[in-house]
Structures are given as structure tokens and as C-alpha cells.
Amino acid sequence: MSQAEFALDEGLCYLNHAAVSPWPQRTVRAVERFADENARLGSRHFVRWQQIEQELRDYLRQLINAADIEEIALLKSTSEALSVVAWGIDWQAGDQVVITDQEFPSNRIVWESLRCLGVEVIEADISKRRDSAESAVIDAITARTRLVSVSAVQYSSGLALDLVAIGAACRRREVAFCVDAIQSIGARPFDVQACQADFVMADGHKWMLGPEGLALFYCRREWLSRLMLRQYGWHMVEAMGDFDNRDWQPAHSARRFECGSPNMLGTHALHASVSLLLEIGSQKIHELISEKASYLIDKLNKNGFNILSEVHPDRRAGIITFERPGVNTSDLYDYLQAQGVICALRGGGIRFSPHFYTPEAVLERALSLVLAFE
């Protein structure tokens, strides 16, 4: 069933889901239908489009086990959602934010941007304390810490942190907990209630198999009215559509973070993509990805490669980064690209990121090319 959903060119080894994913066929069809409808009818059925949008919110709610659809906003990127959080808190000079030393720039720069307010960014060194990365994060919390922000899965080391442990520690110390989940949601189960996150963000174009430009932003109910708003417009008010109302209030739901017209094209696409994920189930997807990761790690190990990413099945999602001693990684990357192995150069190695549907033949071909390179 799932294989038929993908129509990648033959000969292409697509191992780049941690960057940008190809779309399933149902997503391609949803976009085609939407384009056709726009050409013929314009926005005549806008109300139906809004229903798709609501359904998408609910799909995303299910995917992360959020308590309420009202905690879900649709923003344009992970970075935008991080910015909404960072610039929505009433910081005092001397406040601290804890991140890790492995974060993708989006989850570092945004906190560093607060230095002008006197906010200090503390980087927990999880690279040195790989086996106890959670303790490294928790140990970095001080009496001045207001927020901890980590990636659920690190973009280059592939390390999947124990969010439940970090979330519990944050809750005990009344520290807000923010999770950049773009490398996790769609690749492994994510339970926002179990990990007690206050904020979660993830763009749709990686493991959720959707288009770029549409991101999930979860904001715990208690925080909805606490985050200061920085973007305003017709769409974020409670009485949306009542254009004559001069006495506006921000929406009581997370829609308050969506200032203007929604990305309806992206909504139709992501709606289709996430429906596939829900049909298969996060646990099943995780198991399938994990099998592929184990296969790759095993073969690479046997052939003398260094695995730079996390290898323990409980501590990884879909990212496998490696290098070959004596081989120039950048040359190997160029060679793979030229041979149609779509992957990434990250953290000093080659990053492979297969998804649940990636056929074994693709893994074998990619490996044989890696092994053939001198």
C-alpha cells in the first residue's frame, strides 16, 4: 500500500527525508485537485477549504497527542514558531535559556537574538555526555533558567533525547519547555502530554512528507494568553470575518498566532500527507525506519565506516551519519549526488535518512555505491 504512494524516479536513491521529502501520490493529487478547483471556481468553496484546515489541525493534534485542537496553530516554519515563543515571553535581564551544543541554527539563533534584552543562552554539552545527554540538559538548569529548548532529534547526530525526563525536570522547576520536533514528528511517536512540553514546532516538509512553508505550532493552553503577541492581522482575532468590529480581541485559541490569510495550498497538501502517516501509525513507521537504520548501520560498521550518529535503537530516529577513514567525505558526497543518491553532508559526514517506505533495494544500491567509491 505505502509503496504505491511513492513515485520516485527509478535509479534515484532518496535518502534525504531529514532535509526535504518527496510527496506521496495522494498529496500530489490533492494539490492537482486544488489547482484545478482554483482555476475553475476560484474560492467558491472556501468554507470547505476551512473544513480541510480544521481537519488538518485535528490530524496534527492526533499525531502529537495534544489534548485540544485549540492548542494547534499553523505557521509557516519551525523557525517562525520558535520566534513566536522567543519574542512572546516577558524576559528580564539575567534570565537564562538552556539549549544544547548540537542544535540546528534555528534553535540557537532565536535565543541568541534575546541577548539584547539581557537574556543569557547556556549550551548544555550533550556531545561530551552522549550517554547522559538528558542529565547534561537538566544539570544546566539554574535558578535563573526560564526556558529549556531542545530538538527532539538532533539534525546531524540523530540523537533522540528522552523528552519525558527533561519535561518532568522542567515542570518540577517551573521552567518552560520548548521542543523543536521537526526531526521527530512523522518519524517516531511523539506525545506532547507525556513529555509535558509547553511549545512544540515542526515544519511539514521533512518526516511529515508535506510541502515546505507550513508548520505545526503547539502551544499548551496555559501559555496561550501568556505569550505576548508580535504579529497582528484580521485572521488572529476572536471574531474573525467580522470586519466592522472595532473592538477586537485576540482569538482564545492558538489561531491568535496566525495573523493573516492561511496557506491553503500547503494546507491541502499537508492534510493529505498527514492522513497517510495516521493511517500507518507512528509506532509502525518508527519500527520500519528503525529496521532500515539498523540495516545501514550494520553494513557500514562491517565495512569499516565510522558511524558518527547515534546507534542505539531507542536513541535514534531516521538519521544515520557516517564517514569512511581515508576517504574525503565531501568527494564521496559529490560522487553520491552524481550517482543519484540523494543525501546530505552534515556534521562532518554523509547523512542518510530513509523513511518507512524506502525500499531495501534503494538501501542496497546506495551502500554498494558508497563501498565502490575509492
Ligand X SMILES: Cc1ncc(COP(=O)(O)O)c(C=O)c1O
State the residues that interact with ligand X by CB under 6 A.
Answer: 77-79, 104, 106-107, 151, 155, 180, 182-183, 203, 215
The CB-of-184 to ligand X minimum distance in angstroms stands at 9
Pick 83 or 290: Cβ nearer ligand X: 83
The CB-of-302 to ligand X minimum distance in angstroms stands at 29
Pick 96 or 106: Cβ nearer ligand X: 106
The CB-of-10 to ligand X minimum distance in angstroms stands at 27
The dihedrals phi and psi of 124, each to the nearest 5 degrees, come to -75, 130
Pick 106 or 339: Cβ nearer ligand X: 106
Closest to 321 in 3D by CA, of 335, 304, 309: 309
C-alpha cell at 285: 513507521
DSSP string across 23-58? PPHHHHHHHHHHHHHHHHHTTTTHHHHHHHHHHHHH
DSSP string across 171-204? HHTT-EEEEE-TTTBTTB---TTTTT-SEEEEES
Pick 20 or 239: Cβ nearer ligand X: 20
Are 248 and 226 within 8 A, CB to CB?
A: no
Pick 13 or 181: Cβ nearer ligand X: 181
C-alpha cell at 279: 493511517
The CB-of-270 to ligand X minimum distance in angstroms stands at 13
The CB-of-360 to ligand X minimum distance in angstroms stands at 26
Pick 215 or 237: Cβ nearer ligand X: 215
Burial of 354 per CB tally in 10 Å (0-12, 13-18, 19+)? buried
- The 3-state DSSP class for residue 36 equals helix
The CB-of-76 to ligand X minimum distance in angstroms stands at 8
What residue has cell string 558518527?
308
Closest to 289 in 3D by CA, of 309, 318, 312, 322: 318
